[in-house]
Amino acid sequence: MNSLIINNIGKLFNPKENSFGKIDIIENCSVIIKNGKIDEIVGNEIEINAIRLENYEVIDAEGMSVIPGFVDSHAHPIFAALRDKEFEMMNAGMSYIDIAKAGGGIKNSVKKLRAMTENELYKVSLGRMKEFLKFGTTTLEAKSGYGLTLNDEIKMLKVIKRLNETLEIDLIPTFLGAHDIPDEFKDDREGYISLLINEMIPKIAEEKLAVACDIFIEKNYFTVEEGRRILTAAKEHGLEVKIHADQLTCNGGSELAAELSALSSDHLEYISDKAIDDMIGKNVVFNLMPGASFFIGMPDYPPARKIIEKGGIIALSTDFNPGTCYCYSLPFIMTISAIYLHITAEELLWAATLGGAKALGLEKYIGSLGKGKKADLLIMDIKELSEIPYSMGMNLVRKVIKNGKIAECLCSAEK
């Protein structure tokens, strides 16, 4: 029945709807969950009468804190193999782009993924999802983009679908066929763009294998004009749109995100002031993932304080992928964001929960602990929010509640 009561909560930290960076704090309370959804937050356990208790499973939070489950709104978790050798090459002085030009980068992942069957890909991806849950991520975006043929992109999206059906974590599928121009089209860009627009997008939308379409707008990848054509086609087929923009150069991708009323524009290390204003004007979420700059040793980070001061809404995500950020942990990304983006603990929590939900267009259902929302929440061994970014690389998640049930991911550690 998924009905339970979490008693003896020291502090409950709940992001305020429509108020970026503001957190409601309720001390000494209990959360009542009915049929997998948040029913009530009551002042303390004495208010819960004994009869109600009989019908509910009870969890004692032992004075620890409760926060919403993390919503990681930008990730590439389906891939065939690690790229740790490229990480070594970057640390020895090569740039991400130089490695890509030498056959590494996205093309390396494409080659390996094409060689795998759907079942093999399912098997290597399965364990990763459990790791996300252990670090408190209850909803995870999952992009395609390492197949770059109709069949290989569908293979990735089918793996996402199967994982979603099997596992507790919720996966939100995004089509990223415009991640790179595959080698077989290197002298025929137009041929690949036409394949995306005329075959891949219609088929994937028709089979409901993705809810959104993404593109990598960047020097050496896709131009703004190509992005406009591809994403307009995606919208015509009922997909939401989002953009990898302004990551390595200031390239106009975020202005396009505003023009197309995208859900989010993502990365934004080199975003222009005009693009910030355009995005705010269109309510496009600023999806930041400083783990990528950190991991590839780039000196520049997105101008988060400027965005916040202008009134922008920020989401924080891992960008989990084998090339530019091999990290499951949103709390670790919060640490990096505190140091490099100068974001406060309250803003960090908001961005990693409700901000992520908004970046996925799912804020009605997840991201905070409002009545009727999914009961996705974490019992964390903290007294203050500031302990989350402060505890670098540590996992302070003690229990994960997903859809009103205790998730199994941490059970073996408890025994």
Q: Does 330 bind ligand NIG (CB under 6 A)?
A: no
Shortest CA distance to 219 belongs to which of 272, 180, 258? 180
Shortest CA distance to 304 belongs to which of 286, 320, 321? 286
Q: How far is the CB of 106 from ligand NIG (least distance, A)?
A: 5
Q: Does 269 bind ligand NIG (CB under 6 A)?
A: no
Q: Which of 319, 346, 347, 376 binds Fe ion (CB under 5 A)?
A: 319
Query: Residues 66-105: x/- map of binding to ligand NIG (CB under 6 A)?
Result: ----------x----------------------------x
**Rounded Cα distance, 65 and 81, in Å:** 37
Q: How far is the CB of 96 from ligand NIG (least distance, A)?
A: 7
Q: How far is the CB of 37 from ligand NIG (least distance, A)?
A: 33
Stretch that binds Fe ion, among 7-15, 179-187, 316-324, 346-354 (CB under 5 A): 316-324
Amino acid at 22: K
Q: Are 380 and 65 in contact (CB under 8 A)?
A: yes
Cβ-Cβ contacts under 8 Å for 323 (sequence gap 6 or more): 83, 86, 96, 104, 105, 106, 108, 109
Q: Which of 246, 269, 319, 376 binds ligand NIG (CB under 6 A)?
A: 319
Could you tell me the two tokens for 82?
Answer: 């690690």
Q: Which is nearer to ligand NIG, 34 or 244 (CB)?
A: 244
Q: Which of 14, 30, 73, 324 binds ligand NIG (CB under 6 A)?
A: 324
Pairing of the two strands 70-72 and 405-406: unpaired
Question: Which of ligand NIG, Fe ion, none does residue 370 bind (CB under 5 to 8 Å by kind)?
Answer: none
Q: Does 335 bind ligand NIG (CB under 6 A)?
A: no
Q: Are 250 and 216 in contact (CB under 8 A)?
A: no
**Rounded Cα distance, 210 and 323, in Å:** 23
Q: Which of 26, 33, 90, 106 binds ligand NIG (CB under 6 A)?
A: 106
Stretch that binds Fe ion, among 21-29, 122-130, 166-174, 312-320 (CB under 5 A): 312-320
Query: Residues 179-198: x/- map of binding to ligand NIG (CB under 6 A)?
Result: --------------------
**Rounded Cα distance, 404 and 121, in Å:** 30
How far from each other are the two terminal CA atoms of the chain, in whole angstroms? 25
Q: Which of 242, 244, 373, 374 binds ligand NIG (CB under 6 A)?
A: 244
Q: Does 125 bind ligand NIG (CB under 6 A)?
A: no
Q: Which is nearer to ligand NIG, 266 or 278 (CB)?
A: 266
Q: Which of 292, 304, 313, 316 binds ligand NIG (CB under 6 A)?
A: 292
Q: Which is nearer to ligand NIG, 244 or 358 (CB)?
A: 244
Stretch that binds ligand NIG, among 28-36, 147-155, 318-326, 389-397 (CB under 6 A): 318-326
Helix axes 150-166, 105-114, angle to 10 degrees: 80
**Rounded Cα distance, 13 and 79, in Å:** 35
Q: Does 175 bind ligand NIG (CB under 6 A)?
A: no
Amino acid at 278: D
Q: Does 312 bind ligand NIG (CB under 6 A)?
A: no
Q: Which residues bind ligand NIG (CB under 6 A)?
A: 76, 105-106, 109, 216, 244, 247, 292, 319, 321-324
Q: Which residues bind Fe ion (CB under 5 A)?
A: 319
